Amino acid sequence: MESVNVCVIGAGLAGMSAALRTAEEGFSVIVLERGVEQDYLCNTRLTGGAFHVCLSDIQLPADELNNRIQAATEGAAHAGLSSAVAEDARRAVKWLQSQGVRFIKGGAEPHHNFVLSPPSLQRVGADWRGRGGDVLLRTLTSRLANAGGVIKRGHRAHELLVENGKCVGVKGRSEKGEFSIHADNVVIADGGFQCDQELIREHITPDPDKVLQRNARTGLGDGLKMARQAGAKLSGLVGFYGHVLSADALKNDKLWPMPWLDNIATAAIVVDRQGKRFADEGRGGVYIANQIAALPDPLSATVIFDQPLWANQGTSRFFPPNPHLEKLGGTLIRADSIVELAEKLDIDATTLQATVSAYNDAVVRNDFSALQPARRSSAYKAEVIDTGPFYAVPVCAGMTYTMGGVAIDEWSRVLRDDDSIFPGLYAAGGASGGLEGGQSIGYVGGLSKAATTGMRAGEHIASTCRQRVATR
């Protein structure tokens, strides 16, 4: 049995940050990566590359960022973890820069002030080689090797070793058979559970096959299941980060990860097969995607809008649906009236007309309280749908990563059900919970979460290792 100071499960941004931050302090590290290939696929390689906190510049004062996290999650975020990400997201980026990772200003929006280089915000399909996330992992892999760390590819962990209430290692399987590693500390960083059908069906959607895996399709929730079996606490497993995409993306890889329909959906309406609204579009695209996934039939949603929306919101942001949706083979339905649009969609025309009329009336009066469901208008401005031609796009939920996971504190230490610390066990990035999600489906930012929780895990582990050495 091999013995090391730290065994990290997963070699994405969170795992590599934890591993490298520990290794550069002089402690022995093994990283277990399920992928066999040299350039193993994971969500980090597919990332658009923007480091932000709640779509805000990470250079804002920590107190302001913390307030935005608490507002986005409606107070559901763990207080210490929220403060840690608010305080250290910028420091995590500086640390990555010190390792040779390059960033650029990706656009005029504040949350694009730190984007991985070369940028991949406007790619078509899963074209990731040589782009920001891929270059990031290659850089961290090289730095880890220089610091004496080891990555074992093709090694899948399946059990945590626990003695006297402390995590002391990992069991798993590789192509050579079963293996065991003794470790003073274990870091779970294998991403979310978005590709585990059973967990997704239980917590996210009644029909996982009708939700697009807008990700590397490697997040199986192994770490979460191991932690749960060992007695760790899990956060609420509700919610995922994702976007509203053309339903055709389920069959056409050119339509993911973009173009999104978020910008149109948040300014217009999304209806079900009966022609009724079912979500508060004013909460944003991530929230709408979650509500689409939760429908009894996740492929029964359609975005309804008009010509001004298609000409304006439809062309906004990078790689917009106008004109890319149709160019890439996506369905865009046009009609001269709402009645004709309903007929083309096989939706009851009277119901859809009533839905659009009630919505337009609310926009004109600037009072959305009578709508069912009610709509917020503070973050996303609602626009009337009254100028033909009228449009419809059948949509699906595109899921990038799940927000819930193993409960951790501000130093990424895993918690037990009584909120005590689980000695020797850490979790970081998409495998961890307690920051994002809640009933508001509060989105904070996957890259900032991964880098910060991974870095802080490595720093805390290094500190405890030094203390252990000093007391011997």
List C-alpha distances in Å: 147 to 85, 92, 137, 155, 183. Answer: 26, 18, 15, 21, 18
Whether 210 contacts 204, CB under 8 Å: no
Band the pLDDT of 472: cuts 50, 70, 90: low
Residue range(s) in the chain whose domain bears CATH number 3.90.700.10: 240-399
Residue ranges, comma separated, of all CATH 3.50.50.60 domains in the chain are 2-235+405-470
pLDDT for the residue numbered 122: 56
301-306 and 390-402 beta bridge pairing: antiparallel
CATH for 240-399, options being 2.60.40.10, 3.60.15.10, 3.20.20.70, 3.90.700.10: 3.90.700.10
The CATH number of the domain covering residues in 2-235+405-470: 3.50.50.60
Strands 333-335 and 177-188: unpaired
Q: Are 451 and 92 in contact (CB under 8 A)?
A: yes
Over residues 10-65, the pLDDT tens digits come to 999 999 999 999 999 999 999 999 999 999 999 999 999 999 999 999 999 999 99
Confidence of residue 271 (pLDDT cuts 50, 70, 90): very high
* pLDDT for residue 121: 59
The span from the CA of 365 to the CA of 267, in Å, is: 16
pLDDT in tens, 210-241: 999 999 999 999 999 999 999 999 999 999 99
pLDDT of residue 126: 59
How confident is the prediction for the chain on average, in pLDDT? 96
* Nearest-angstrom CA–CA distance, 466 and 434: 28
